[in-house]
Amino acid sequence: MFAIISDVHSNLEALTAVLDDIEARQVDDIICLGDIVGYGPDPEPCMDLVMRQCRFSISGNHDYAVLTEPEGFVPMARQAIEYTRHIMTENIPSVPRKQERWDYLKSMLLKKEEGDYFFVHGSPRDPRYEYILPTDVAYGLTDKLEEIFSMFSSIAFVGHSHMPGVFTDNMEFMRPTEIDYEYEHKKGKIVVNVGSVGQPRDNDRRTCYVIVDGGHITFCRPRYDYTTAVDKIRRIDDLDDYLGERLTLGR
């Protein structure tokens, strides 16, 4: 049994609530699918928690952008990356912990396969940047989906879109609310979007992650103190206030 988190986006309050929930469920193996940083106010404390508690982390597009450049990012996302880079590199030569965080960002995996499980941030076809969206299955088996499903053996776990649910190779998409937050994988291939810890976008402001036990997948939605996260964002000039507003809206 293990837990999968993704898209923390520097939201310390959400990450703390999720880690507390995972501990309460007596799960001690945690995997992170990336985007630890970006958007939110607390990149360094979130990095520290993930480094300490996750067995491994996949590199997300925001993690990579901090190391390189936020190409293709909208202005508020680019501004947040620049804020994050400033926080994480300020006085880095004289603060060993800062160098450790920076080295961890550089060491994060692009993808990983363990038995029947395939872990990636975006999609098996384009690990950092490609979205797999509910609308993709509306047209049946497209070239995009055929290629994606051909690239793993059984279950692929992804993040990136912040929209949790299960995609089947029959071109269905099931939201957690439609399956009572539980899914039992018995045959075929599935892609599981584990949702977002720090910036949910499915009109539910609760944080989201999954627990995997064999083929049984549970979507977990603990509540967290989003108002504190919103207030922090509003107090930082380099973060757009809308980044706080969307935590309130859950989208």
3-state SS of the chain is: CEEEECCCCCCHHHHHHHHHHHHHCCCCCEEECCCCCCCCCCHHHHHHHHHHHCCEEECCHHHHHHHCCCCCCCHHHHHHHHHHHHHHHCCHHHCHHHHHHHHHHHHCECEEEECCEEEECCCCCCCCCCCCCHHHHHHCCCHHHHHHHCCCCCEEEECCCCCCEEEECCCCEECHHHHCCEEECCCCCEEEECCCCCCCCCCCCCCCEEEEECCEEEEECCCCCHHHHHHHHHCCCCCCCHHHHHHHHCC
pLDDT at 112 over 90: yes
State the pLDDT at residue 217.
Answer: 97
Q: What is the pLDDT of residues 12-50, one digit of tens each?
A: 999 999 999 999 999 999 999 999 999 999 999 999 999
pLDDT in tens, 159-196: 999 999 999 999 999 999 999 999 999 999 999 999 99
pLDDT at 138: 86
Q: What is the pTM of this model?
A: 0.95
In the chain, how many domains are there?
Answer: 1
pLDDT of residue 70: 87
Is residue 78 pLDDT above 90, yes or no? yes
The percentage of residues in the chain with a pLDDT greater than 90, rounded to a whole number, is 93
Average pLDDT, the chain: 96
Domain assignment of residue 179, given as a range: 2-249
Q: Is the pLDDT of residue 139 over 90?
A: no
Averaged pLDDT, 77-105: 93
Q: What is the pLDDT of residues 187-241, one digit of tens each?
A: 999 999 999 999 999 999 999 999 999 999 999 999 999 999 999 999 999 999 9
Using 50, 70 and 90 to split pLDDT, how confident is the model at 4? Answer: very high
User: What integer pLDDT is reported at residue 159 of this predicted model?
Assistant: 98
Task: CATH number of the domain at 219, please.
Answer: 3.60.21.10
User: Is the pLDDT at 94 greater than 90, yes or no?
Assistant: no
What is the mean predicted confidence (pLDDT) over 48-74? 95
* Number of neighbours of residue 75 by Cβ within 10 angstroms: 9
Q: What is the mean pLDDT of residues 118-131?
A: 97
